[in-house]
Structure formats: structure tokens, C-alpha cells
Structure 1
Amino acid sequence: MRGIIYLEDGTIYEGKGFGKAGTSVGEIVFNTSMTGYQEILTDPSYSGQIVNMTYPLIGNYGVNEIENESSKVHAKGLIVKEICKEYSNYMANIDIDSMLRNMGVVGVYDVDTRSITKKIRSCGSLKCLISNEDLSLDEIKKKLSEVELKHDFMKRVGTKEVISIKGKGPKIGVIDFGIKQNIIRNLISRDCDITIFPYNTSYDDIVKINPDGILLSNGPGDPKEATEAVETIKKIIKSIPTLGICMGHQVLALAVGGKTYKLKYGHRGGNHGVYDIERDRAYITSQNHGYVVDKESIEKDMIVTHINLNDETVEGMKHKTLPVFSVQFHPEGSPGPTDTSYIFDKFISMVKGE
């Protein structure tokens, strides 16, 4: 199949198609991870986005049945330099091409992904059409212009009903903006009694379970669109220990009167350096976000605990008086692989009052 990538500024990249035969439009972003393509594709935080992988060979260890971060692929498309269909890993049962075909996702390979990355770094994230259909340039332009990018995916990708996962430990309520399964696995491994709530659950319904702690999950889109959740979180943090991760970190900032803003091209990959000020130690972290917290806007109520070593953006914060803290990176993302799992331990200790 022919593959084509068309950016809103008129830039065209031609290659070969794989995955589902079709056409998609979304925001093009790049990810610098060398591994983890299965987790990236199934991460709800990539809803509405077309992912350009900077690592040149994708698919060499295949796809397995246990490492998905959700039940489906959320990305709108995948761009790679070279795909490997002859995978070599004892856990794998299908290749990356089959995964995309089964999940209905468009892919393009045999393009210069380094050039695409440089384009995004120069121009910022752009609206993009990805196709492996035989379309004319006029058809491509028309399809691109017909789609308006949305930024409120966090309202739609999470659970639509309350989910209970029993445990003998602390009772943790999770507000689901598009949670990754590995966050849930980390809570289960600490024997938490977990209740996962839909995005727009009211404060009154959440406190009915009498939670010992609240976790605000990761998720896609612009945190400013999470208006209902912001109002709920304002009430939650006054009385319940709270941890925010990624989108949860950003929404928490809005709940204390802070501001967020969009980065030029975001942080996406498994190699982002973060400095923990309190521990006086640096960590390599997994990240996937396009928005960050404005440092000056939170100084009244929050203390910055972590900073990004590349651009000095806020990577973590804690409340000055309340048992509330958050991180921008993914402590469950396992680049270490367990270097930053202390975030979950810290949360559980806080919930227990230790």
C-alpha cells in the first residue's frame, strides 16, 4: 500500500502503508522511546494523536496479550521508519502490523521519521492526515480541512461506570481521565481496595465510599477542558489525601487556582531526566504530555518538588498544608524500571498517616 503523511502547512511525506487501510486526521507528535510501542498505542493519553516514533525499528519483539494499557489502540495513526513483522520474543503472539489491522489503526512506514521530528520541533505539533489509501492531493486537503481537532478526550476515554477492585489495604478512589492499566496494577500490588470513578462523578458520590485516598489519573487533552472535575477536586483536597499523575497533576494545579499552558511539542518518551528536589536525586522518567503547569501560578498554595532537567518545567508539586501532591511524569512507566515507583509508596504512606 502507498502511505502518505500530509501536514497542515502543506508538507508531504510519502512512504508505504501498513495496518488498517484507511485515512485518519489528528495532531502529530513524536515519541523518543526505544521500546514500549504496544503500551504507547494503547495508552488513552494518545487519543486524537498520530504518533511518530523516532527509534528507527519498531516491532522486533512483537505484541503480546498482557502489556496493553487499555482495551484498544487510542492513537489515530502510527508512523515509523521501518517495521519488523518477524518478531522474536517468547511472550508475543502477533506482529505490529496485525495489531494495527485488528484495532483499525492506520500506519505508514519507510519515511524519514527524523525529518518529521525536526519539523515538529521547529513548528510545534501540527494537524496531520495519515493515509494508506489512494487519494488525490485535493481529496487529502479536503479531508484535512473537514476535521477540527478536539481537546476534551479525557471526558470520553475513561470508564463509563464505577468499577470496584477489592483489596485488603487502603480504600483508594480513582478519578479516571484515561487511566493506564499499569497504574491500577501498582495499586493492586500494594493491596489497595480500588474504586474507579467516571470522569464526571460528583464529589457526593465519591465520598459515599468513604475513601482513604484519591488518585487523579493520567489522560489526554487540554486540562482546561476538565471543568467538572476541577470543581470536584477543589472539594476533595480539603479532606482526602490526594495524588495526581500527569493529567491529574495538571487538573490539580487548576483546582488550587493555578494555570497550565501548552508546550511547543510536548514531552513524550522514556528518557526524560527529572530532578527530585527533596531527595536531591535525578531520575530517568517516562512521559507523555503536551501541557504543563505554570510554576508562578501555583506558588501561593503549592511547593515545586520536581523539575524537568531539559527545560526546567514543573514535574512535581505538593500542597503547603494539605496531604496532597502530584507528578507530571509516569511513575508506573518503568524506564528504570522501578526507580520512581516510590511515588506510589509515598502516596500509600500518606494515606495511612505514616
Structure 2
Amino acid sequence: MNPAYVALESGHVIEGRGRAPGTARGELVFTTAYTGYEESLTDPSYEEQVLTFSYPLIGNYGVREERFESDRVHPRAVLARELTDEVADWLASEGVPAVDHLDTREVVTDVREGGAMKCGVAVGANATPDDAVAELERCEAMSDHTEIGAQVSVDDPVVRGAGNDGPEVALVDCGAKGSIVDSLLAREATVHVLPHDAAPGDVAAVDPDLLFVSNGPGDPANYEAAIDLVREFVADTPVAGICLGQQIVAEALGGTTEKMTFGHRGVNQPVLDLDSGQVVMTTQNHGYTVADPGDHLEVTQVNVNDDTPEGLDGIEYDVITRQYHPEANPGPEDTLDFFDDVLAMSSADAPRAVVADD
């Protein structure tokens, strides 16, 4: 096997076993998920990141394309305690460097104590620690990836489910997981997938019953076009959002967002509904959160571990957002009724809120 090195912003350089060759750089993060490595590796929210799996064996049930959330692997590199040959070969075919035989407990501890950090990876027959350090030195902070939406979004509008009997949904694709679209299609919606930088005229041409802002990677403040769309349509059109979508909606309606120390990434994040008192388990993958929802949104759900907002509802607008992934894939399906609630809000018979002038 080839030598492999991972240089961390903390100053550590870790040696491992090279499983897929190449050099890479990105923000080092970890997921605690026991299963769902195929879904995680194809989740666009991992764009420009180096993903560490805390579970020790990755690949024990193979690689099946029908589980993919997009058409490619998105992390810039992958770290694990042990990768099976099938996963390592898949990553090599995608040109994604992979390293195993690492003490991933040490990596996770570094991230928990120092926060998500820049890192560089070098794998190959002639790889050296200096190669990894050189990648680290070229690594940008996540907030500096101002055009990251273009890396994960459709270039042109795409219609899914044409002819379905349900609502017309304008989905702003900031890196949408395929399971979000599938969840809407399963409820007979017609989904108009629009680029992350769609103009108001693009949405108006759809004449949607619902504006839906997807998950995606990076700093929500960099999605200026999507923020403007929410501001433009929220008075007349119901709005929903998942993950990054919640943060974009909050930014659009006068709230603020902030970067978390190491984020939430896994399939067992407990969420408390403040109205019912019920706790549900959720799948999450995000490094930013809503710091203040502002005056137009109220927090309806919170994370049990750190009280960060997990659900927002509009006060005078028709808005429902969730920080977690109700569609799971992988993970628990405790919150699939979110899509029923959203599409019910978009029904032509649903009451519209009276919007106060600012």
C-alpha cells in the first residue's frame, strides 16, 4: 500500500495507509453514523470537506448506486480506521484520495477540541509529509468558498414529476440530496429544480405553490441569490427549507447565522419539539446554525444536546424549515411527516397569512 499523510491545522501530521491516491485539501469534519457511508459520500453538503468516519469499519455492506444521493462523491478526501477494498476502489475511481489505518479517535478528538479545521492530504508512492503540509497551506476557510453553490447545483432548470397531481414546487438547488426530490415526488408534487442562483423571473415562470430551499455546503451568507428569492416571494408563496435552506430562510427574514465549532454530522441527533414535548432522532450534516431567528420566525424545535434551533415556523409568513434531514437516507424516519405538512401548507385551499408591512 502507498504511504499517506494528513496535515492538520492544529499542527499534527498523521501517517496512515494509502487506499486511493492523490492530493487534496479541505475542512476536516467527522460523522458518527454507523451506516449510510454511500449516502454520506454522495451528499453534496460535504463539498470542499475532508470526511472522517468515526465508526471503525466502512464498507461492510458494499457499494450500491441506488443508495447514492447524487451522481458523484463530494468530500475532497476520506479518512477511516479501515476501508474495505470495494469502497477504496470506488473512491479511487472517483479520484478521491482515501486513507485508513488511522487512529480516528485521535482525529475526532482534535476536531472536537479545536473545531472543524483546515487539512491537507497526500497519498501515493512518493507522497511525503511536506506534500500534505503544502496542501494544508493552500486550503481556504469554508466561508471563503463564495461560489461553492455552483459546484453542486444544476446548471439549468430541470422538471421532475411532470404531470403529477400535487403542488408545483420550485426547489432552489443549493446541493439538494436526491432523497429530498424523491420525497416530494412520492407525494405527487411536480418539482422544478432551479439553479442556486436562479433569478426571481425563473421562479415566477414556474408560478409555484411552494418555494423550497435545499440543503447544501458552505456558508449560508454566500447564497445571496437564494436569500433574495426568499425575500421576494415569502409574502405570497409558502416557503420551506431543509438544513442550509433553514439558514438561508433565516438570513432572508432578518435572522443571523453562525459557524459551529464542529457541527452536527450523524444519524442519531435528538431533537425536541417544544409544542408536543416529543423527542425524535434525526439525521444531520451541517456546520452552520441559526444564531438568532429574527422577528419573523419562531423556534419550534431545538437540539437536545446544545439547544441550537432545529425547526423554525413563520410568525406572519407561511414558512416551515428544519435544520435536520426529515427524509433521512440514512437514518431514522421519525420526521417524514414534514413533507406532508409542507405540501399541505402549499395547497391552494390552505389559508394565507396576512403579511405586515415592515
Which TM-score applies when normalising by structure 1?
Answer: 0.94
Equivalent residue in structure 1 for 2:105, among 101, 114, 122: 114
Deviation at 1:135, TM superposition (A): 2.9
**Counterpart in the other structure of 2:10:** 9
Deviation at 1:317, TM superposition (A): 0.5
Deviation at 1:321, TM superposition (A): 1.4
Query: Deviation digits for residues 209-256 of structure 1, max 9, x if unmatched?
Result: 211111100000000111122112101111111111001100000000
Equivalent residue in structure 2 for 1:151, among 132, 139, 145: 145
**Counterpart in the other structure of 2:313:** 318
Which TM-score applies when normalising by structure 2?
Answer: 0.93
Mark the runs of 5 or more structure 2 residues left unpaired by the alignment: 351-358
Deviation at 1:276, TM superposition (A): 1.3
Residues 298-307 or 261-270, more deviating: 298-307
Q: Quick check: 1:140 aligned with 2:126?
A: no
CA contact (8 A) 1:155 1:226 kept: no
**Counterpart in the other structure of 2:75:** 75
CA contact (8 A) 2:269 2:283 kept: yes
**Counterpart in the other structure of 1:169:** 166
**Counterpart in the other structure of 1:190:** 187
CA contact (8 A) 2:80 2:99 kept: yes
How far apart are the structure 2 equivalents of 1:263 and 1:337?
24
Letter in 1 for 2:287: G
1:1-354 aligned at under 5 Å gives the runs: 1-19=2-20, 21-85=21-85, 95-133=86-124, 134-149=126-141, 150-152=144-146, 153-165=148-160, 166=162, 167-294=164-291, 297-334=292-329, 337-352=332-347, 353-354=349-350
Query: Deviation digits for residues 261-312 of structure 1, max 9, x if unmatched?
Result: 0000110000100011233211110000000001xx3241111111000000
Deviation at 1:139, TM superposition (A): 3.5
Letter in 2 for 1:339: D
Letter in 2 for 1:282: V
How far apart are the structure 1 equivalents of 2:227 and 2:13?
40
How far apart are the structure 2 equivalents of 1:267 and 1:143?
26
How far apart are the structure 2 equivalents of 1:144 and 1:210?
46
Letter in 2 for 1:130: V
Give me the CA root mean square deviation. 1.3
Letter in 2 for 1:109: D
CA contact (8 A) 2:119 2:135 kept: no
Mark the runs of 5 or more structure 1 residues left unpaired by the alignment: 86-94
Residue identity over aligned pairs, in percent, reads 36
Letter in 1 for 2:179: N
Query: Deviation digits for residues 57-98 of structure 1, max 9, x if unmatched?
Result: 11000100211110001110111101223xxxxxxxxx2112
Deviation at 1:334, TM superposition (A): 4.3
Query: Deviation digits for residues 15-65 of structure 1, max 9, x if unmatched?
Result: 10112x111011100100000111111110000000010101110001002
How far apart are the structure 2 equivalents of 1:132 and 1:138?
12
Deviation at 1:333, TM superposition (A): 1.4
Aligned residue pairs, count: 342
How far apart are the structure 1 equivalents of 2:129 and 2:89?
28
Letter in 2 for 1:302: L
Query: Deviation digits for residues 87-115 of structure 1, max 9, x if unmatched?
Result: xxxxxxxx211210111111000010011
SS of structure 2 residue aligned to 1:250: helix
Letter in 2 for 1:81: R
How far apart are the structure 1 equivalents of 2:308 and 2:297?
15
